[in-house]
């Protein structure tokens, strides 16, 4: 007998970054919160992440979001985020993709006009407002956990690149914030490969000795992200734009400017006195895709002064699919996968409205 399992996916993209939303085919995970469920999956069921982000099933440049039961009563669904780097606790683009998939599939009823949705990420509640037009999600504004500047004025010697100065900011994960122009980079399509190589060399050099703890969420792992910052240009009173690129270790340069990268940039700008409450920064990825980050209010995370902000973007549906996982395939590592997959016959996947 072949050991086969089925997963139901809704593939989406936000700013060019593909998120695969797993809506059925996974057993209920143990844990009293979405964070605990994510920790269980990370330590006991990482085969799911590797399967869907590796050939022949996927690509490391994608992300995966697993829909789970929320623990917080105000949340309509929970989701666990998986990327090449591991398990970020929050992600703006993944949140935008996940809520779009849930609404467009009918898993959360869609209402035309403005609609408020609350999801539970591993980092806590994501408060989301969508603008829906003619049965479609036209735009999404999401507020996750506050970002804060953890360290400033850090530096590391990077082989072949020399001394690189950076600041360390928490925004769903730790980000090393780097002024790209200081190292001769422009953030555009032509320099994507060079930026990826720089990001890889930098993260490998910078990881030793950097903090790996969050004051409320505990151990969060080694540095996963570098965010490259370009020049800031003022568009109008209280509105700016800037080329921006996020590197995900290992080896991925995001197609969007990323929501958490943008939130990290806002927290750093606020610390420097460069942006204030109610003002916004539009970040532009190397491929020309844009997110808008808006400063809300001050906050605190443990001992750190922090910043609430929102990210506005949009997502598009790419595919509804049922994929077959052959656990006897030598390309499938079932050692930490089989027990998290459901062996029940699945009904038809949720359909686009």
DSSP per-residue letters across 234-255? EEETTEEEEEEEEEETTTEE-S
Which sign, positive or negative, has the C-alpha torsion 85, 87, 93, 98? positive
Contacts with 229 (C-beta within 8 Å, 6 or more apart), sequence order: 177, 178, 179, 180, 242, 244, 265
Q: What is the reported pLDDT for 348?
A: 52
Q: What is the reported pLDDT for 126?
A: 96
Q: What is the reported pLDDT for 209?
A: 85
The angle at the Cα of 13, spanning 109 to 37, to the nearest 5 degrees, equals: 65
Where does residue 100 rank: exposed (0-12), middle (13-18), buried (19+ CB within 10 A)?
Answer: buried
Where does residue 312 rank: exposed (0-12), middle (13-18), buried (19+ CB within 10 A)?
Answer: buried
Q: Are 200 and 250 in contact (CB under 8 A)?
A: yes
Domain ranges of the chain: 4-144+316-340, 147-312
Query: How is residue 182 annotated by DSSP?
Result: G
What's the CATH code, domain 4-144+316-340? 3.10.310.10
Q: What is the reported pLDDT for 343?
A: 87
Q: What is the reported pLDDT for 352?
A: 47
CA gap 91, 184 in Å, rounded: 29
* Residue 135 host element (H or E): none
CA gap 91, 111 in Å, rounded: 24
CA gap 211, 214 in Å, rounded: 8
Which tokens is 268 given? 């750093």
Active site residues per annotation: 91
Which tokens is 52 given? 């869907």
User: Tens place of pLDDT for every residue, the chain, 353 residues?
Assistant: 678 999 999 999 999 999 999 999 999 999 999 999 999 999 999 999 999 999 999 999 999 999 999 999 999 999 999 999 999 999 999 999 999 999 999 999 999 999 999 999 999 999 999 999 999 999 999 998 899 999 999 999 999 999 999 999 999 999 999 999 999 999 999 999 999 999 999 999 999 989 899 999 999 999 999 999 999 999 999 999 999 999 999 999 999 999 999 999 999 999 999 999 999 999 999 999 999 999 999 999 999 999 999 999 999 999 999 999 999 999 999 999 999 999 876 655 565 44
What's the CATH code, domain 147-312? 3.10.310.10
Closest C-alpha among 67, 136, 131, 143 to residue 317: 136
- Fold agreement between 4-144+316-340 and 147-312: yes
Q: What is the reported pLDDT for 204?
A: 97
Q: What is the largest CA-CA distance in the chain?
A: 67
Which tokens is 161 given? 């690149």
Q: What is the reported pLDDT for 288?
A: 96
């Amino acid at each position: 007998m072949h050991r086969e399992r089925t997963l139901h996916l809704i593939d989406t993209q936000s700013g060019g970054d593909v998120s695969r939303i797993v809506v059925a085919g996974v057993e209920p995970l143990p844990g009293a919160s979405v964070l605990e469920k994510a920790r269980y999956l990370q330590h006991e069921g990482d085969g799911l992440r590797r399967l869907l982000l590796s050939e022949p099933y996927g690509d490391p440049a994608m992300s995966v979001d697993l829909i789970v039961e929320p623990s917080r009563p105000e949340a309509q669904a929970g989701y666990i985020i998986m990327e090449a780097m591991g398990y970020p606790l929050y992600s703006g683009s993944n949140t935008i993709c996940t809520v779009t998939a849930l609404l467009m599939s009918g898993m959360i009823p869609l209402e035309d006009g403005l609609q408020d949705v609350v999801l539970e990420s591993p980092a806590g509640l994501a408060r989301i407002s969508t603008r829906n037009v003619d049965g479609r999600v036209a735009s999404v504004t999401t507020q996750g956990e506050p970002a804060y500047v953890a360290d400033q004025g850090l530096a590391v010697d990077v082989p072949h690149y020399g001394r690189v100065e950076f600041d360390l900011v928490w925004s769903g994960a730790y980000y090393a914030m780097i002024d790209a122009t200081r190292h001769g980079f422009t953030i555009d399509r032509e320099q994507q490969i060079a930026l990826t190589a720089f990001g890889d060399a930098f993260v490998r050099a910078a990881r030793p000795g950097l903090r790996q703890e969050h004051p409320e969420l505990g151990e969060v792992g080694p540095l996963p992200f570098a965010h490259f910052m370009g020049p800031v240009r003022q568009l109008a009173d209280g509105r700016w734009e800037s080329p921006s690129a996020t590197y995900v270790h290992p080896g991925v340069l995001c197609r969007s400017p990323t929501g958490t990268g943008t939130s990290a940039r806002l927290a750093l700008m606020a610390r420097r006195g460069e942006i204030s409450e109610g003002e916004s920064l539009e970040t532009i990825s190397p491929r020309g895709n844009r997110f808008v980050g808006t400063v809300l209010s001050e906050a605190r995370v443990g001992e750190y002064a922090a910043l609430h902000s929102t990210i506005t973007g949009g997502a598009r549906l790419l595919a509804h699919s049922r994929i077959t996982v052959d656990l006897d395939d030598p390309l499938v590592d079932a050692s930490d996968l089989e027990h998290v997959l459901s062996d029940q016959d699945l009904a038809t996947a949720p359909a686009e409205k």
